[in-house]
Amino acid sequence: MEFSILEDIDVDSVYKISVDAFNDLTKESYLKMSEDSNYKFFVAKGNGEVVGFIVLLVVDEKTEIIKIATKQEYKRMGVARALLRVVEDYSKKLGHTGIMLEVNEHNEPAIKLYESFGFKEIHRRKKYYGNLGDAIIMVKLF
């Protein structure tokens, strides 16, 4: 699997994966984030196509995962785990001491992945997703 920082031509692929996974941001939102130096995109490519991505917000000395998604046919093949490793390495190179993220309390596969990668729950935002559940704030320190 190949990893790279987002290139302009990849925004379409990222958006398509995002629509399947979340359907909450517009293509224009991703374009604006890709133009903002505080956001970093990493993509995983397999067979020449984008099969997963991760979006980070990097402000001051903090790395926060904003989005992570894998193409449906590549789920459970280690793409998200590999992207998390890339982000950890990137964060360490920046001198950061950890990574933060939030996840819906009902997204059990994601929570299990994050816990297996060393993330710990530090807080809950009650009813953050309305009737769809609480947001769990997780951190991995290194």
The per-residue pLDDT for range 35-69, each reduced to its tens digit, is 999 999 999 998 889 999 999 999 988 999 999 99
Non-local (6+) Cβ contacts of 99 within 8 A are 63, 64, 65, 87, 88, 91, 119, 139, 140
pLDDT in the model for residue 30: 93
pLDDT in the model for residue 20: 92
- Name the pTM for this structure: 0.91
Q: Which pair of tokens denotes residue 139?
A: 């951190």
Give yes or no for residue 18 having a pLDDT over 70.
Answer: yes
Give yes or no for residue 5 having a pLDDT over 80.
Answer: no
Distance, CA of 99 to CA of 84 (rounded, Å): 10
Distance, CA of 137 to CA of 79 (rounded, Å): 22
What is the helix (H) or strand (E) element at residue 89, kind and residue range? Answer: helix 79-93
